Amino acid sequence: MTTYGFHASHEQLPPSELLRQVQAAQQAGFSRAMCSDHFAPFGPEQGESGFAWSWLGAALATTDLPFGVVNAPGQRYHPAIIAQAAATLAEMFPDRFWMAVGSGELVNEHITGERWPAKDERNARLLESVQVMRALFAGESVSHRGLVTVDRAKLWTRPASPPPIFGAAVSPETARWVGSWADGLITVNRPVEQLRPVVEAYREGGGAGKPIKLQVHLCWDRDEEKALRIAHEQWRTGILGSDVAWDLAMPAEFARATAYVRPDDMREHVLISNDPARHTQWLHEYADLGFDEIYLHHVGQDQRDFLDTFATQILPALT
């Protein structure tokens, strides 16, 4: 049976408020949570970007929820440091932490001042980083020279079970590659006919029998026009394809690239409705694709009505 989680967006809320909201999400009936890991928001209107790894310790300590995070090791983060951070959380909170990894976006990675590699090189760097982290989780002393460099690293604090490493993918091609090395897949919502090939490619690439997770961007308000305005203000950057978005360096560049986006254009990328039954139907359709976990991201900054409505009208109809 599909379980439903809350997505905590560090780009949109201060970490103190985000902590209160994830606690409220547990009270509302969400059984798990995940968060983003950004250095900068996508757009100036979002306005925040707390450090995910500090926040995760507080969130795990003050809720009973399992948590995940989407991370990009290799440039802004050295994979040995991420392995240490993940191992520490997994040791303190056994079987409650997972991580997903991707090849990164320039809006976060440019801060190092290093060259931004092409996508194929970033993928190769990601796979090297995963191999380094897994060796460290296994207790090995790791030295490595390649697209990442590691010198005699060893984790002295390790959990009894290493945290699973999921692969993030939005295209069938990347999903098939992820199937060859990841412990599971995470992807983002699109129309069902576009998501099905991603799931199938992952399974064909070696992911058959492994868990799959979905992040769903949605916007709910009692006034549908208001919901549409919120989605346009806060998440119009989501309309950009990955091949464009991963090469933009500054939030202002995202603002310029999405200046043409109209509110009605958002309906193709964010589930927008004031009807709880419509949201329930959408989520049932995603569950029917075989997703084990679905994480809901209300793209507005005020989460209260979303949590109240989903707690009373939508989550009970899904479980």
CA atoms of 305 and 308, how far apart (whole Å)? 5
What residue has token string 């191999």?
131
| DSSP letter (8 states) at residue 73 | B
Closest Cα partner for 28 from 65, 69, 67? 65
The catalytic residue among 45, 105, 128, 293 is 105
β-pairing, 185-188 vs 165-168, is parallel
Cβ-contact 102, 168 below 8 angstroms: yes
What does the alpha-carbon distance between residue 159 and residue 240 come to, in Å, rounded to a whole number?
39
| DSSP state for residue 61 in the 8-state scheme | H
- Calpha distance 9→185 (Å, rounded): 20
What percent of the chain is helix, strand and coil (3-state, nearest 5)? 45, 15, 35
Does the annotation count 105 as an active-site position?
Answer: yes
The strand ranges marked E within the chain are 3-8, 32-35, 67-71, 97-101, 142-145, 149-153, 165-168, 185-188, 212-219, 271-272, 293-298
Name the catalytic one among 38, 232, 269, 298: 38
- Report the distance separating Cα 162 and Cα 275, nearest Å: 41
Q: Give the residue numbers annotated as catalytic, written as ranges.
A: 38, 105
